[in-house]
Amino acid sequence: MQIEDRPAQSSSQSPLKHDAVEGKMEKKLAMPAKLPVYSRAAAAQRLNDIPEKPARGVYYPAPHLVPPSSWRVKRHLKRKSLRQNSKRYAAVERIGTQWTLLPLALGFITTIFVLASVFITVSGLVNATNQRYQVQVTTLADILPQDSLKAYDEHGTLIYQMLDQGLQTTVPLSKISLQLAHAEIAIEDQSFWTNPGYDITGIVRAALDDLTHGRVVSGGSTITQQLIKNAIVGNQSSIIRKLQEIILAPEVTRYYSKQQLLSMYLNTTYYGEQAYGADAAAFIYFNLQDTPTATAASQLDLAQSAMLAGIPSSPIARDPFLHPHAAFQRMEEVLRQMYLQGYITHNQETAAIIEAQGPAFLHHGVIKNGLAPHFMNYALNELASGLHVKLSDLPRAGLVVSTTLDLELQNKVLQIARQHISALAAAHHMSNAAEVLIDYHTGAIRVLLGNLDPSDPNSGQFDVATQGYRQSGSSFKPFIYATAFAKGISPGAPVLDGPFTIQLCCGLPAYTPQNYDLRYHGLISFRYALQNSFNIPAVKLLTQVGVDDSLHTAQRMGITDYVGTPNYTMVLGSLGIHLIDETAAYGVFANGGIRIPPHAIDTVKDVQGHVILHVAPVGTRVISKQVAFMITNVLSDNNSRTFEFGKCSALYLYSSTETACYLGHPGSIRPAAVKTGTSNNFADNWTVGYTSDYVVGVWAGNNDNSAMVNITGVDGAAPIWHDSLLLAEQGQAIRDFPSSVSGVVKKTVSYGGITTTDWYLVGA
C-alpha cells in the first residue's frame, strides 16, 4: 500500500474555498514558464528532474512503522528455532554422511582394493605358472607318459610287455579310428577345433551342472586341459590347479597343432584296466590285435569307439567289465552327442546301440608274458645294466627291445626236455631240467630254459640256468686240461690211473679220489682219461698244473661266479656254478679261444625307431687257439670214449636212432665236442657241448636238490642235449672242426709202456 504524505486540512477552511484555491494552483502548474531549450535556466530546471541518489544503507520504500513491544521475544524465538533447525540439519547431514556416503566410499575403496589384489594375484599366478612350467610346455610331447616296454624275439614275435605301470602303445593319429576321435571330441570338448585350449562356456555349464546335481557330474576341462593335467600340473583337486590349466592351455595351443594335441591325448589318456591310449584300450576291451598292416586302434568301429570314449571321465565307475550298465548308459550319451553334433546319423546311432547289446561285444584281451619268463628276466637285468638304470625305470621307458631269443626253437626244445624228463621221472627220481643254447660266434642266447614248468607256484619261477648254483661234476674237467695243455702237456702224454692219495696240510684228512666205476685203468693217455671221465688222472693233472692256475683259466673263460672252496676236488666239479656260465665258457673252446660274452639283448629302439642301444660284444682272446683246438679235438673224439659210453651214446650226433646206429646205420654224423658231468651226490646231471654253430648246456635234476637214482649225465642230460642240438642244426650245413691250426704239431711218441699219436705245442 502506498501512503501519500499530505498536510492536515484545517478545520476552519471551507471545502469549497479549498477547491477553488486548488483549481487556481493547478492552472498555474499546468502552465510552466517557457524557456529556451538551450538556456541556462532551462538546463538548471532540468537538473531538478534527475532523482537524487539514495542514501547509503538499508532503504525501505515503505514508511517505518513502530514495531509492537513483543517483537524482541518473537525475534529471539525465531532465531532459536533457526538454530535448532540448523542443528537438526547438521545432525542429519552427519548421519547421512556416516551411514550413506561413508559406506559407499568404503565399499568403493574396498572394491578397488579387492580388484587390485585379484589382479595382482592373478598376474602373479600367471607369471609364476608360465615361469614354472615353460619348459614342460615346450617339451610336452617328450614328457608325456612313454609306452610300456615291449620285447620281441629274433623273428619279430612279441614275447613280453612290461605291465608294472600299465599298457601303452603309441600309434600315429592316422592309425587311430576316426570314429574314436569324433566320439572323444563330442563328449569331452565340443569346441576343440576352435577354442584356445579352454572353453569358458564349458566351464560355466559344468559348474551349473554340478550345482544342479549337488555333486561333481561334469568337469568342464577341454582335451588340452586334460593333457596339461596329466603331464604337467598333476591331478590334484584344487582351484589353483584348475587355474594353472587355464593359464597354460593357450600356451600349449600356440606350441602344438590341434592334430598333435589330439594325437597326444588319444595315445596317453587312461581308459581303465591298466590301458593307456586307444591302441591298448582296443586290445584290452575288444582283443583287437596290431598287425603288419593295421593297428588295433584303427580297427575300432562306432560302437566300440563310443564305449571307449565314455570311460576316461570315470575309468572305474564306467569300466564295461566291472559296471556294464553304467558303461552302456555313458556310451548312449556319447552316441547322442555325436548325433546332435552331426558326426553320425540316427540310423548309425541305433545300429551301434544294438551292436553293444550283443553278447560278444566285449572280449578281454590277455597279455601273454609267460612265453619265455626266465629268458626275459635275464634279458631285463641285462638291459638295465646296459642302460645304467634301475629295473623300476624300465616299464614305461618307451623302449622296443629286440632280443636274441628264438621262441619257436625254445618251445620245441622245451617239449624235448619235458618228454625226456617225463620218461625218466618215475624210475630215476628226476623232475626238472634247464637248458641254454648260444650262438658262440656272436654270444647271442637263442634258448634259455630255467625250469620246465614256469607256472609251478612252488619252484617254477626259479631259473636254474642263471640263478642256480649247481655242481657241474666232470664237465668242469676241460678247464683243468686246458690249463695243462697251455703248459705244454699233450693230450697224448701218459698218466697212471691207479691208487692216489693227496696229503693235505693244516690237519685236514688226506684226499683219495676214486673213479666212477671204482676201478683203475693203468697207464693211459690224458685223451683217453678225459674222454672216459676218469677222476684219478684228472686230480693228478690238477696237482701238476695247480689249483689257482686252473681256476684262473675257468674265470677268464667266463666262470666268474661260484660257491664253494677251490681245491683239488674242483676238477670233479665240487664248485657250484651257473649253467649259462659253463655253457658260454665251452663256447670259448668252440670259438678258437676267443670269448664273446653271452647276451640276450640285440637292439633297443625308442617308439620313433631311433636306435638307443645295439649289443655287439667284442671278442677277447682268453686262451690260445692251439689250446682251444686240442680241447675240441679231444672232446669230439667219439672213439676214445667208447670204453665208458659206447659207440652210439647220446654224445654222438647221429641222425638215425640209437638202434640203427649200433646196427651200423648212424645216418649223417654232425661233429660235436661234448663232456658230461655228474655230481658226487647224484643231485646234478650235466652235458655241455658244441658243434660248428652252437654250444648247448643241459642240466637235469630236482628243484629241491634231492639225489637222483642210478642215472648219470650221459643218460639224464645227454639225450636232451643230443636232440636239442640236432633240432637247432636243422637246415645248417654239416661242417667239421678244423683239422689243424698253426702252432701245433702231431707226433707219435713212445712213453715206455704206451705209445700215442697226438697233438703237441710247437716247441713243447
pLDDT tens by residue, 272-285: 999 999 999 999 99
Rg (CA), the chain: 55
In tens, the pLDDT along 416-441 reads 999 999 999 999 999 999 999 999 99
pLDDT at position 185: 96
112 and 175 housed in the same domain: no
Q: What average pLDDT is seen over the chain? A: 89
710 and 643 housed in the same domain: yes
The answer to whether residue 400 sits within a structural domain is no
Classify each residue of 51-69 as buried b or exposed e, where b means 16 or more C-beta atoms within 10 Å of its C-beta: eeeeeeeeeeeeeeeeeee
Q: Report whether pLDDT(717) > 50.
A: yes
Question: What is the CATH number for 196?
Answer: 1.10.3810.10
Q: Report whether pLDDT(59) > 60.
A: no
Q: Report whether pLDDT(675) > 90.
A: yes
In tens, the pLDDT along 392-419 reads 999 999 999 999 999 999 999 999 999 9
716 and 640 housed in the same domain: yes
Identify whether the C-beta of residue 671 lies closer than 8 Å to the C-beta of residue 691: yes
Q: Report whether pLDDT(24) > 50.
A: no
Q: Report whether pLDDT(680) > 60.
A: yes
pLDDT at position 13: 44
Q: Which amino acid is at 388?
A: H
Torsion on CA atoms 238, 239, 244, 247, rounded to nearest 10: 160
Strands 744-750 and 695-701: unpaired
pLDDT at position 134: 82
117 and 253 housed in the same domain: no
pLDDT at position 10: 43
Poorest-pLDDT segment among 53-57, 134-138, 604-608, 697-701: 53-57
The answer to whether residue 663 sits within a structural domain is yes
487 and 636 housed in the same domain: yes
Question: What is the CATH number for 657?
Answer: 3.40.710.10
739 and 622 housed in the same domain: yes
Residue 415, φ and ψ in degrees, nearest 5? -65, -40
HSE on the CB side for 466, CA within 13 Å?
21
Poorest-pLDDT segment among 115-129, 295-309, 671-685: 115-129
pLDDT grade, residue 214 (50/70/90)? low
Residue 692: burial class (beta carbons within 10 Å; 0-12, 13-18, 19+): buried
pLDDT at position 362: 96
Helix-helix angle 178-188:302-309, to 10 degrees: 40
191 and 129 housed in the same domain: no
Q: Report whether pLDDT(260) > 70.
A: yes
Poorest-pLDDT segment among 219-233, 518-532, 700-714: 219-233
Q: What average pLDDT does range 55-79 have in this prediction?
A: 66
605 and 675 housed in the same domain: yes
The answer to whether residue 659 sits within a structural domain is yes
pLDDT at position 200: 81
Q: Report whether pLDDT(9) > 60.
A: no
Of 112-121, 132-141, 303-312, the range with the highest mean pLDDT is: 303-312
Q: Report whether pLDDT(510) > 50.
A: yes
Identify whether the C-beta of residue 495 lies closer than 8 Å to the C-beta of residue 531: no
Strand partners, 151: 160, 401
Task: Select from 305, 335, 356 the last residue of a domain.
Answer: 356
In tens, the pLDDT along 341-352 reads 999 999 999 999
186 and 277 housed in the same domain: yes
Q: How many domains does the structure of the chain reveal?
A: 3
248 and 207 housed in the same domain: yes
pLDDT at position 391: 95
The answer to whether residue 346 sits within a structural domain is yes
pLDDT grade, residue 116 (50/70/90)? confident
pLDDT at position 97: 63
726 and 614 housed in the same domain: yes
Other Cβ atoms closer than 10 A to 295: 22
Alpha helices in 568-676 (DSSP H): 579-590, 625-635, 642-645, 658-662
HSE on the CB side for 365, CA within 13 Å?
19
pLDDT at position 711: 93
pLDDT at position 496: 97
pLDDT at position 477: 98
Strands 562-563 and 611-614: unpaired
Q: Report whether pLDDT(46) > 80.
A: no
Q: Report whether pLDDT(18) > 90.
A: no
pLDDT at position 25: 47
pLDDT at position 551: 98
Q: What average pLDDT does range 528-542 have in this prediction?
A: 97
pLDDT at position 8: 42
User: Among 625, 621, 605, which residue's Cα sits nearest to residue 613?
Assistant: 605
The answer to whether residue 123 sits within a structural domain is yes
495 and 352 housed in the same domain: no
Q: What average pLDDT does range 185-206 have in this prediction?
A: 85
Q: Report whether pLDDT(5) > 50.
A: no
The answer to whether residue 18 sits within a structural domain is no
User: Among 483, 509, 183, which residue's Cα sits nearest to residue 348?
Assistant: 183
The answer to whether residue 438 sits within a structural domain is no
pLDDT at position 45: 63
Domain that holds residue 338: 169-356
